[in-house]
Chains A and B, each alone.
Chain A
Amino acid sequence: MNHCQAIRLTVVVHKDIAEDVQKVFTDLGVPYFSHELGRYPILKRNHIFLLNLYSSAQLYNLPVVIFQVLTDKKTEDFLFNKIIESADLTIPGHGSIYTEEISVFSPMAENLVYRNPIKTKPMGFTGLTGIFCIIQRGAADTMSHYILENGVAVPTITYGVGRGLRDRLGLLRITIPKEKEIVKLIVHSSDAEHALDFIIEAGKLDLPGKGFIFEYPIKRGLINTKISLDGPKQAASMEQVISALDHLYGNIDWRRQFTNFRKGARKRNYFEGVNIHLNAKEGFVEKVLMKLSKLGISGATISQDRLIKFDEENSLFNPARDSANLLIPKKMLNEVISELEALRFFAEETEGIAYTMEIPRAFSYQSKGNQKK
């Protein structure tokens, strides 16, 4: 199986400026990128008294487009800067961008990666950690409200479909809702543990069936700071002040806020592993996952995105795609990859791609027998 190391660059931009980002990709000749729709909630402050009573949720949801593109280490900074420039990501509210180091498994892994010899100075901040959280559909609004009110970060929410226990129930599975929401947010690494703790509390993830959370390392990023729809009351809005300070310091260390947060919180049993991100032609991921469950891997979340390749003539991939995220113990990685190969996941018919990255910390409700639900 071909595999290579790469940088995955994720851009989350407001839908209205998504076209600008897409234009950058076209102009630079990026071979493949995927895009997915999502939303980011921000607080709205209703000043009309009665409307406040009417709408209990004080959130306003803005549509975003999430682009993912693969590049190599040398091109990373160039592409990173180009995108920031085109979409004005330094302005709060426009969106976030971050990169992760991953391994790509695909027969044509090398072709997926974008390369460009131009070198530029690195931008953005280091020392960030991403948090990935899967919860029941409908639970994200309450959780985002907590997160935003406490200024932890600005979450990005996408929809997914959960798999796992329910698929082994036969037809009775329809009684368990499969719709999930995926909440992604980026915090400072030194806050990560507390943020994780905070979200577990906010989403009651320590109860069975409530969800699943893990953190992943981020190489470099620039994050959205806009948390409220309010216009600035002062000469500069709070978000502008924050982002100006970020630039002044060159990092976001000063924003650490969880230094004294809930000392002596309950010790949680985190576990570690490898996250495999499977991406294939729509419909096939589900079939592969069903077969993988024989290896003891259950519990994955499927979401849908589109893979775009520009030159239409010889488009190798079908645009409608399914993506699945599943977490496996590190020692099983090779076994799973070879199993995927045996299942013809990477064959032309399925058009499968797998990305892997290491997960230092993950959490979900675990029953007494230390068995993942």
Chain B
Amino acid sequence: MARNEKEESIHIGFKETLALITPYFRKKIWEQTKSVVWVVSYLILFQLIVLRIPIKEAGVISLGIFAVILGLTFFMEGLYLGIMPLGETIGLRLPQKANLLTIMVFCLFVGIVATLAEPAISVLKQSGSAVNPWDAPLLFHLLNEGADVLFLSIAIGVGFSIVFGIIRIIYGISLSKFLVPSLIILILITIYSFNNDNLRLISGLAWDSGVVATGSLTVPLIVALGLGVSKASRTSDTTTGFGVVTLASLFPILSVFVVGLYFAPKLPQPMSKEKFFGNGITVEQSKLMFGEKNPETLFGAHEKEQNTQLSIHNKLVKIIEGILESFSGSLQAIIPLAGCLILFLYIILRESLPFTDELYLGILFVFLGLAIFNFGIFFGLSKLGSQVGNKLPSSFRSIELTDSTREIRNFDPKIVITATDEQGKKEEFFYLKDKKSFSQIPFREKNHDSQSEIYSYVPIHGPLFGKEDNLLGYFVALLFAFLLGYSATLAEPALSALATSVEEVTVGTVKKAVLIQAVGIGVGLGTLLGILKIFVGIPLLYILLPSYIFLVFLTLLSKPEFIDIAWDSAGVTTGPITVPLIIVLGLGIGNQLNIVDGFGILSSAAIFPVLTVLIMGLWMERSRRQSLSNIEAEEK
């Protein structure tokens, strides 16, 4: 109140600066630690206590987990300081200053650039190496030689969905008018593909790619853009500006199917390996699938890579390479996106933000955060996740721990003893002295190298609960899937950004924590069902069809504001933390049970959050009505 003569800026000494920065940084780190701690401690405890397998490379993993926390801290702060205000400002000005065509071109462009920069998409490519070309030629083509076409089609799908989403908000059209027709088309295509061997195998990929397309960078940007547009729009009174993410996770499914339909006639049908290499495919088909490479050299003598011990030097080199790679990846993701947004803001809209320094700091934070985070995911969380995921089947089946193979030097075959069972079948085993105890190890001839006198011994683990394929073991695996889905979701950055926006827009009537819990439970249920799908071998269609019909029914019952939020949370759930963990889980179990594609878990994990959030919305609606009408009801 009192008038100060000079209020330009305050000079702050070094000590005061430190006193401001330290608590700020501590608070932000603590926030992220709280979100990550569940999934990490859960994975560690599960492996140590339930599976009873020590954790390999614990040092690197803990470094990685620390990097995840640090990276998330920077990333989230950068989102709130830079990317989201930028997106919102552009969204606000867009309908006022640009004509419809410019808006459409801009949205299409942003969608494509943002999606191609999305790190989560490369996870799909990684999983491509696990597919055998003869089992699923089309799937193999799309994930290997045709991967660029696949990514581009996903990106174009996202681009178009942003165009439609923004137009929807400008003209105030309700989300269900877009949602229901596109769902019907998608389900019809899925039913059609169900009868074609090749297409059926890509339907899992298609549904998953819709989910993967919207990641930690795209979602906050899209949400902010939508919020900005909805604020400036004259017609939207009830729509909240959410719902663009939903379309962004539906349209790519369609575009992947379209690409699949285009390539399907050009590729061979699935066949056996022998037939595949024995003139099963034509030259053109081979070219389409493998490019210039010769398939037989790639797959003819396919042997699993042996895990050898790396020297400390090599390990360090690997870590440094990982750091460099994640920094360059992050740069590739940020520069085009931020550059394109800033140029658009300054040149086409001729606007500026009130605090430009904050914006640039935010973008720098996002860059740093993304780099550290990716490094952490790769070296920490993914490794931990794949260790647990690959060993999870040991709860119901005995599995070989290939990564803890040990070599026994100077092995003398004379110590092998023969044992017999009730049927008189003979089996050979020997005693191994391990520290101070002696254990019996079955002897396998192929593991013995008589020349070097080395016996490589692969420890066998499980089944943990009773006999092979016991129900309790399956049950434990399902419970694990639920808790993994749930706890990983709590750490998901895009969800956190969405939930913050939701809390902001609803002025605290939908609390951030409540929304995250609801989504977490949904993802947990979805993962559980996805794993069940692999266990029992249900086709994806049988899960998708009834769930979506039920969802459409629930959607019709709900209020528009919850519809938008609920469907958006589906697209958001699966980001850089959940996707690798769930895919690894799916592939790990799929490998043990010899199932071709471990895809489809993600899409099932993305359905259930919609369900839980819609139910949460209906529940809140009930209390709202109660607060209004219990007295009126009394009067009637």
Give A contacts to B, CB under 8 Å.
14-17, 22, 37-39, 42, 44, 60-63, 91-94, 140, 157-159, 165, 168-176, 181, 226, 229, 231-232, 237, 239-240, 271, 273, 282-283, 286-287, 290, 293-296, 298, 304, 306, 312, 315, 318-320, 327-329, 332, 370-372
Report yes or no: B17 in contact with A61, Cβ–Cβ below 8 A: no
Report yes or no: B7 in contact with A39, Cβ–Cβ below 8 A: no
A342 to chain B, nearest CB (A): 18
Report yes or no: B628 in contact with A93, Cβ–Cβ below 8 A: yes
Residue of B1, B77, B81 most packed against chain A (CB within 10 A):
B1
Whole-angstrom distance between the alpha carbons of A181 and B509 in the complex? 13
Q: Mark B2-27, 1 if CB is under 8 A from A, else 0.
A: 11110111101000010011011000
| Chain B contacts for A171, CB-based, 8 A | 357-358, 361
Report yes or no: A16 in contact with B7, Cβ–Cβ below 8 A: no
A91 to chain B, nearest CB (A): 6
Whole-angstrom distance between the alpha carbons of A243 and B532 in the complex? 57
Closest residue on chain B to residue A295 by CB atoms:
B3
Report yes or no: A94 in contact with B623, Cβ–Cβ below 8 A: no
Whole-angstrom distance between the alpha carbons of A42 and B508 in the complex? 13
> Contacts A93-B628, A329-B1 known; A172 to B234 CB distance under 8 Å?
no
Q: Which B residues between 617 and 636 are near A, CB-CB below 8 angstroms?
A: 623-628, 630-632, 634
> Contacts A168-B9, A287-B354, A312-B234 known; A320 to B92 CB distance under 8 Å?
yes
Whole-angstrom distance between the alpha carbons of A170 and B598 in the complex? 51
Add 4 more A-B contacts to A176-B20, A372-B1 (CB < 8 A): A93-B627, A175-B24, A328-B1, A329-B1
| Chain B contacts for A93, CB-based, 8 A | 627-628, 631
Closest residue on chain A to residue B229 by CB atoms:
A320
| Chain B contacts for A370, CB-based, 8 A | 2
Whole-angstrom distance between the alpha carbons of A15 and B626 in the complex? 13
| Chain A contacts for B2, CB-based, 8 A | 296, 370-372
Whole-angstrom distance between the alpha carbons of A61 and B21 in the complex? 34
| Chain B contacts for A372, CB-based, 8 A | 1-2
Report yes or no: A38 in contact with B232, Cβ–Cβ below 8 A: no
| Chain A contacts for B623, CB-based, 8 A | 44, 60, 229
| Chain A contacts for B3, CB-based, 8 A | 295-296, 329, 332
Report yes or no: B232 in contact with A318, Cβ–Cβ below 8 A: yes
Give B contacts to A, CB under 8 Å.
1-5, 7-10, 12, 17, 20-21, 23-24, 77, 81, 89, 92, 96, 231-234, 237, 354, 357-358, 361, 504-509, 511, 623-628, 630-632, 634
B484 to chain A, nearest CB (A): 22
> Chain A contact residues: over half helix, strand or loop, or mixed?
mixed
Report yes or no: B10 in contact with A14, Cβ–Cβ below 8 A: no
Report yes or no: A14 in contact with B631, Cβ–Cβ below 8 A: no
A236 to chain B, nearest CB (A): 8
Whole-angstrom distance between the alpha carbons of A175 and B627 in the complex? 39
| Chain B contacts for A61, CB-based, 8 A | 508-509, 511
B499 to chain A, nearest CB (A): 15
> Chain B contact residues: over half helix, strand or loop, or mixed?
helix
Report yes or no: A283 in contact with B7, Cβ–Cβ below 8 A: no
Report yes or no: A294 in contact with B361, Cβ–Cβ below 8 A: no
Report yes or no: A14 in contact with B21, Cβ–Cβ below 8 A: no
Report yes or no: B12 in contact with A62, Cβ–Cβ below 8 A: no
> Contacts A175-B21, A371-B2, A372-B2 known; A169 to B358 CB distance under 8 Å?
no
Report yes or no: A14 in contact with B628, Cβ–Cβ below 8 A: yes
| Chain B contacts for A320, CB-based, 8 A | 92, 231-232
Closest residue on chain A to residue B25 by CB atoms:
A175
Report yes or no: B504 in contact with A159, Cβ–Cβ below 8 A: yes
Report yes or no: A315 in contact with B508, Cβ–Cβ below 8 A: no
Report, nearest first, the 8 A-B pairs whose CB atoms are least far apart: A296-B3, A175-B24, A320-B231, A63-B509, A372-B1, A175-B20, A320-B232, A231-B630
| Chain A contacts for B624, CB-based, 8 A | 14-16, 62-63
> Contacts A39-B507, A63-B507 known; A172 to B631 CB distance under 8 Å?
no
Report yes or no: B628 in contact with A16, Cβ–Cβ below 8 A: yes
Report yes or no: A271 in contact with B357, Cβ–Cβ below 8 A: no
Whole-angstrom distance between the alpha carbons of A181 and B623 in the complex? 24
> Contacts A37-B506, A63-B624, A229-B627 known; A91 to B1 CB distance under 8 Å?
no
> Contacts A175-B20, A287-B354 known; A91 to B632 CB distance under 8 Å?
yes
| Chain A contacts for B625, CB-based, 8 A | 16
Report yes or no: B7 in contact with A293, Cβ–Cβ below 8 A: yes
| Chain A contacts for B233, CB-based, 8 A | 319
Residue of A16, A158, A286 most packed against chain B (CB within 10 A):
A16
- Which of A175, A229, A332 touches B626 (beta carbons < 8 Å)? A229
> Contacts A172-B17, A286-B354 known; A38 to B1 CB distance under 8 Å?
no
> Contacts A159-B504, A171-B361, A296-B5 known; A318 to B20 CB distance under 8 Å?
no
| Chain A contacts for B24, CB-based, 8 A | 174-176
Closest residue on chain B to residue A231 by CB atoms:
B630
B409 to chain A, nearest CB (A): 58
